[in-house]
Amino acid sequence: MIPKVFKEVIDLGDGREISIETGKLAKQAHGSVVVQSGKCMLLCTVVSNYKQSDVDFLPLTVDYREKFAAAGRYPGGFFKREARPSDGEVLTMRLVDRVLRPLFPKDYHAETQVMIQLMSHDDDVMPDAMAGLAASAAIQLSDFPFECPISEARVGRINGEFIINPTRTQLLESDIDMMIGASADSVMMVEGEMDEISEEEMADAIKFAHEAIKIQCAAQVKLAEAFGKKAVREYETERKDDDLAKKIHDMAYDKVYAVARAASAKHERSAAFDAIKETIKASFSEEEQEDFGGLISKYYYQAEKTAIRDLTLNEGLRLDGRKTDEIRPIWCEIDYLPSTHGSAIFTRGETQALATVTLGTSREANQIDMPSFEGEERFYLHYNFPPFCTGEARPIRGTSRREVGHGNLAQRALKGMVPEDCPYTVRVVSEVLESNGSSSMATVCSGTMALMDAGVQLKKPVSGIAMGLISDAESGKYAVLSDILGDEDHLGDMDFKVTGTADGITACQMDIKVKGLSYEILVNALKQARNGRLHILDKIVETIAVPNADVKAHAPKMVTRVIPNEFIGALIGPGGKVIQELQKTTKTTIVINEDPVTEEGIVEILGTGQEGINAVLAKIDSLMFKPEVGSVYEVKVIKLLDFGAVVEYADAPGNEVLLHVSELAWERTENVTDVVNMGDVFDVKYFGLDPRTRKEKVSRKAILPKPEGYVARPPRENNDRDRGGRDNRGRDNRGRDNRRDDRKPREDKKED
């Protein structure tokens, strides 16, 4: 029997709908929903253990997977099954995690899993835009302690009109691609890329998405009420001691405030804070320390956070002595690494990134193979964050989700500035060497300079800055912090990263921790970020103002040539013989692609030596050489035959034609070598296809004067009629059916 199904439908306002359904699938999970739009279906399940974990944080795992069967496809690879998540799946996990995590109680430490699966794919629906809705809807049907429903929506803008959850095709026309996560009351997360838009335009896009999210949150509430809202589970809360908290606050506040006001460096400041903490702990007896457990450390950190925030709100000062809108000292250098195609160092305060650029052919493009999207990236950026950059020693266990997310942000910041006609596949790698505040924005800056150093003709340089916010709801005070430190990232109410050119924003990432942040504060923060970006951009331009006119001497040069489809096979040769030999002799890399529209061949020639590239171009010109009827061409003898000479055109080496012995001279020629020899160079006239032989005909004698008294030989007469006709010579009597009837049958072979 099919169980009772509960369903809510969300109208997107343009004929499209999103439905949320529960009651049919995965009923043993603590909450499960199927979210559908068009033919796209996501299944989300949530489970949380009833026993608290022995940790002081929420062990939340958000997992998003796309099943290849959803698109009617097989996974790639030998084992033909889904394995580790792709970068695209990891990015969706991060988008959902960043909105969900702050809404769980701080003292809720139960192992919690949110699993989202793409079960059916629709080319016109991007599933990541519905993942946050699915996760929140499933949680609303559970008994988890969770503050309020949330949702996420993608917003685009086409011809000045905003659109919710655009298709991938529509995004190609859009100048905005942003994901917004919010509750009905507050925006909590923003991430996306833009085509140099203003701060006000970005705020308008967020407002538009928030209105759609409010409707999605209301639908979740209705579904939970219809299904039967569960009572929130009871769990073992953390121990509290208000008297102890006040005592530690009184002991620590002034001392922390004094250290914070002293404007010291990171390690010196950390050592001073640790000393205060140890002094406070030492004031308690061993029995008290054992009795209070981790409360002493917990309440100390609360006092430390309060003191630092108060310093900024009261005096406008920060941990390193800067004012709220002040940027740390910056120094830059390009061409640092001698063997790379491009390199740059960007150092801002105690954050440093070294970027390298590698140029290649389309063969080096980053292949994307997901059920929801197949394609390739001709520009991509990888970000590495080794433990030594923060002075730590810890094991390296592959690329982390954070590295994937930060690299994607920097890639989105820069990719719009790479010209569409850039012939190269471009890979940027950022190695973070020091980190104390926004290494991803340092990556954007170093990446910009490395690209210009490599000779990639960026439309405009891009800079990035990390911003913070400290606010006090009671007093109404707030402070926007430019170029935040790592410590300020943790204690602030909002941290956001903004990248852009001098003309507008190209990418952003925001995490807003305070409820009800006004759009006025948001716009003010974005404008302050713009001032910081422009300051950093000036430092970049001082180092390298415009891209280098050409790639480095040791970097490969790229030339692209379009050839008609019929010449592709000739360039490749039988079994690839021609192209392989050409690459070997010219020391180049040759890649041939076919234009899907025109079906023309697009030949990419990559080589460090211009001579080799020119040789390949000459070969292509040779293959494509088409002589005109009646024109005279210079040729060279490359082979002698009994009935003529094989010559090649001087303008097209390798393009050969037979010069028949009868076309060598007006006089009768007994031996070819009587007239020409190997290596001889002379002119011939081109007559096109000979109607008799159907082969190309050239003549040397046609451009020579006729000898005096020359008499042309009479044409050979057709004597076939006199000889009974060659075409029917005895053929009428050759059929097997006309065999002589009196022919004796073959006698059987006698046996011995």
**Beta strand 425-434 pairing with 379-384:** parallel
- Condensed to tens digits (0 to 9), the pLDDT of residues 247-264 reads 999 999 999 999 999 988
The answer to whether 125 touches 171, Cβ cutoff 8 Å, is no
Q: Give 410's Cβ-side CA count (13 Å radius).
A: 30
Please give the backbone phi and psi of residue 347, each rounded to the nearest 5 degrees, phi first: -125, 125
Annotated ligand binding at 489? The verdict is yes
The answer to whether 446 touches 351, Cβ cutoff 8 Å, is no
Q: Please tell me the predicted confidence (pLDDT) of residue 325.
A: 92
The answer to whether 427 touches 357, Cβ cutoff 8 Å, is yes
Average pLDDT on 493-519 reads: 91
Q: In this model, does residue 125 exceed pLDDT 90? A: yes
- Return mean pLDDT, the chain: 90
Q: How far apart are the first and last CA of the chain?
A: 86
Q: Please tell me the predicted confidence (pLDDT) of residue 723.
A: 47
Residue with tokens 């090649």, as numbered in its chain: 648
Closest to 230 (Cα-Cα) out of 145, 151, 148, 116: 145
Q: Identify any residues that bridge with 351 across adjacent strands, giving them in sequence order.
A: 348
Q: Average the pLDDT over each of 124-133, 525-534, 734-743 and give the range with the smallest value.
A: 734-743
Annotated ligand binding at 674? The verdict is no
Could you tell me what percent of the chain has a pLDDT over 90? 65
Q: Please tell me the predicted confidence (pLDDT) of residue 473.
A: 79
Q: Please tell me the predicted confidence (pLDDT) of residue 741.
A: 47
Q: Please tell me the predicted confidence (pLDDT) of residue 7.
A: 95
The answer to whether 661 touches 668, Cβ cutoff 8 Å, is no
Q: Identify any residues that bridge with 154 across adjacent strands, giving them in sequence order.
A: 179
The amino acid sitting at 380 is: Y
Q: Please tell me the predicted confidence (pLDDT) of residue 76.
A: 83
Closest to 510 (Cα-Cα) out of 182, 135, 134, 106: 182
CA distance linking residue 375 with residue 544, whole number of Å: 33
Average pLDDT on 495-522 reads: 91
The answer to whether 486 touches 428, Cβ cutoff 8 Å, is no
Within 228-265, residue ranges assigned H as helices are 242-261
CA distance linking residue 489 with residue 256, whole number of Å: 18
Would you place residue 649 in the very low, low, confident or very high pLDDT band (cuts 50, 70, 90)?
Answer: confident
Query: pTM of this prediction?
Result: 0.84
The answer to whether 371 touches 70, Cβ cutoff 8 Å, is yes
Helix axes 295-315, 266-282, angle to 10 degrees: 130
